[in-house]
Amino acid sequence: MAAQLIDGTALSKRIRSDVAQRAAALTGRGVRPGLAVVLVGDDPASQVYVRNKVRACEEAGLYSVFEKYDADLSEAQLLARIEALNHDASIHGILVQMPLPRHIDAHKVIEAIATTKDVDGYSALSAGELMAGLPGFRPCTPYGCMKLIESTGIDLRGKHAVVIGRSNTVGKPMALLLLQAHATVTVCHSATTDLGLHTRQADVVVAAVGRRNTLRADMVKPGAIVIDVGINRNEEGKLCGDVDFPAVREVAAAITPVPGGVGPMTIAMLLVNTVEAAERSAAVTV
């Protein structure tokens, strides 16, 4: 029997509608949640992501500022803009779209964002809070993956989860979130020998690689939950993930599609983090 589709579009709509209610309540108290989105350069994919994020903000009643700069913006100029946004009371979250041009040190930029406005959850402090199990901003993509997994009703305690990929923005925080939910976690990467040996034991697989057909049907345990983070294009130029979707769907119990799975959830969780940042700021100023 084909796996249940985990519908990220539908779940993200419910989350965004909850964000809209929280934003309206805050706005009624004189604090309209605000997100600043900063884009440097002309990367076409980044422009699409940024546009979607700004539109999602507007739909949820958040205030948003979009700042676009030419690719030759200096690092010092970008840091000065972030400093100004850090002090702007109408802005509760700051997102700098990655990747940045090569002459700008992304780490320096991420660390320049005020901790209270780090709604992408990429700073060293946010990463440390996640590792220590302290409250803080969780990186939006793995946070969204957790919501997708939770939506299946699975109790992760004692389950075996395998994460493929160990990037700071997806794989590593994903592994930590699963660990916090009491799963037993294996993290695989490009030096892993026999990937299938690990994934075949998994009750939950999260694929975050960026290479299509990384996870094939013979690598999946029947009844597993499969979350596909990857964004790739197939021979026909169509969007696809890291998972051989049609074949794995026949083995798994539940699976996310690409598009319509993790992507919309990443944006929804950005809005959640932004409204959360505004709620915290309102609690401080009240």
**What residues does 232 pair with on adjacent strands?**
240
Block residue for tokens 């793995």:
142
Which residue, 97 or 281, is less far from ligand NAP as judged by CB? Answer: 97
Question: Could you give the 3-state DSSP secondary structure of residue 225?
Answer: strand
* Binding stretches for ligand NAP (CB under 6 A): 141, 164-167, 169-171, 188-192, 195, 208-211, 214, 229-231, 262-263, 266
The answer to whether the CB of 273 falls within 8 A of the CB of 119 is yes
Among 47, 68, 117, 120, the one annotated catalytic: 120
Which residue, 110 or 188, is less far from ligand NAP as judged by CB? Answer: 188
CB of 29 to ligand NAP, least distance (A): 32
DSSP letter string over 40-77?
Answer: ES--HHHHHHHHHHHHHHHHTT-EEEEEEE-TT--HHH
Q: From its phi and psi, is residue 65 left (phi > 0), alpha (psi between -120 and 50) or beta?
A: beta
Q: Find, among 81, 69, 135, the residue nearest to 112 by Cα.
A: 81
b/e per residue, 68-99, with b = 16+ CB within 10 A?
eeeeebebeebbebbeebbeeeebbbbbbbee
CB of 92 to ligand NAP, least distance (A): 22
Among 97, 147, 203, 242, the one annotated catalytic: 97
Block residue for tokens 């983090």:
273
Which residue, 42 or 194, is less far from ligand NAP as judged by CB? Answer: 194
CB of 241 to ligand NAP, least distance (A): 8
Looking at this protein, which amino acid is placed at residue 250?
E
Q: Decide if 147 is catalytic.
A: no
CB of 157 to ligand NAP, least distance (A): 26
Residues comprising the chain, all counted: 286
Which residue, 64 or 266, is less far from ligand NAP as judged by CB? Answer: 266
Which residue, 90 or 190, is less far from ligand NAP as judged by CB? Answer: 190
Which residue, 160 or 212, is less far from ligand NAP as judged by CB? Answer: 212
**Cα-based distances in Å from 34 to 18, 23, 91, 107:** 16, 10, 4, 23
Q: Decide if 120 is catalytic.
A: yes
Sheet strands side by side (includes 63-69): 63-69, 34-40, 93-96
Question: Could you give the 3-state DSSP secondary structure of residue 84?
Answer: helix
Q: Find, among 206, 217, 210, the residue nearest to 173 by Cα.
A: 206
Q: Decide if 97 is catalytic.
A: yes
Catalytic residues: 53, 97, 120
